Homo-oligomer: A and B are copies of this chain.
């Protein structure tokens, strides 16, 4: 599954990026890959899946490990009130750097049974870039800070983009006393991670304080692999509409309740789930539409369900198309509710507008790839990223590398080693170019 454009595109078989160390203007590929593997061991389950749910014990272990690696690399680490881990070169300018500040990074937390690269790759490549710059005492025109945003996935505490929301000053958009799926307060988990729920505003970076944010990430989709190109220049981050559909029917004994007159919410949910995918697959009203989570109550084989809840996730790079898809689904839900004589409601709608990346940063990324002899493609991001939140306070740029098989959020999520190093090289060159 190696990417042919990288291994044979230059004709004369260049030395593998993955084994290269100490080349000027390039990262230490072996060090980066070694670090990725060591972090992949933190929270790894029996079947190879990574479980580092945001603010869980394994997530804290990864954050502690990151701070230790930074210290060994001669860098400084601070943790802000939101629990974000920030890594810098040892302070020369104190709190008021004269140079513009550039933030690079991603997140360390994962979904349940996820992969080793989603998030962690961007953080560890950021660390690699800063370590390379620091070791070579390169005089950059900007001061680079590496960030590991807290709880991007929201897999345990359902507040995704937690850390980037705090850093971007969107504290008012967050619940005031969040809890996890079992009711445990985020306050305590955040304190264990070094944050402070009562002081979130201290972690906000005001607009103007930051020159740019760059995030390197695995594509998590099949585009780059299909094109055989190692670098993606992200032009936009997808918009997303999420909500929970709740269907209330009438429970009853599975053996004694005649079919006639049953008000079974699971039958209605089945019709609704088919309608959700139809939005994207047949009606092409939005790019993708997914039901990934579903809960039946009381969930007993001998009882007709009383209530069914399921998540709906619609994505598109156009806010208009998303709104149209949502409206169409709304009509379809009303129709199936009517047919099944059940009551449907929609809860917790979150609409995230698509975000465009910055022209200047896109050009810098593309020029860096070109200089390094790496083929690149402009493409949208189908997944959400911390970058879209940081876009509230500064220009953002995103670099993608190919995902083998186009998959992510699974234990076998992977990227060819040369592509991982190529991405970090492009990140380094882009920083140098700013």
Residues of A within 8 A of B (CB): 111-113, 153, 155, 219-222, 238, 240, 242, 251-260, 264, 266-267, 269-271, 273-274, 277, 280-281, 287-296, 298-306, 311, 313, 315, 381-384, 403, 406-410
Contacts and interface: CB of A to CB of B under 8 A. Distances in A.
A269 B288 CA distance: 19
Nearest to A282: B259
B410 A313 contact: no
Interface SS of chain A: helix, strand, loop or mixed?
A: loop
Contacts of A251: 407, 409-410
Contacts of A311: 301
Given A292-B305, A303-B292, A303-B409, A266 B273 contact: yes
Contacts of A384: 255
Contacts of A240: 255
B294 A253 contact: no
A430 B238 CA distance: 72
A76 B119 CA distance: 68
A288 B234 CA distance: 53
A240 B301 CA distance: 12
A267 B277 contact: yes
A260 B289 CA distance: 12
A267 B256 contact: no
A304 to B, nearest CB: 6
A321 to B, nearest CB: 14
Contact of A270 (B256, B270, B280, B302): B270
Contacts of A304: 290, 292
Contact of A296 (B259, B281, B293): B293
A236 B408 CA distance: 54
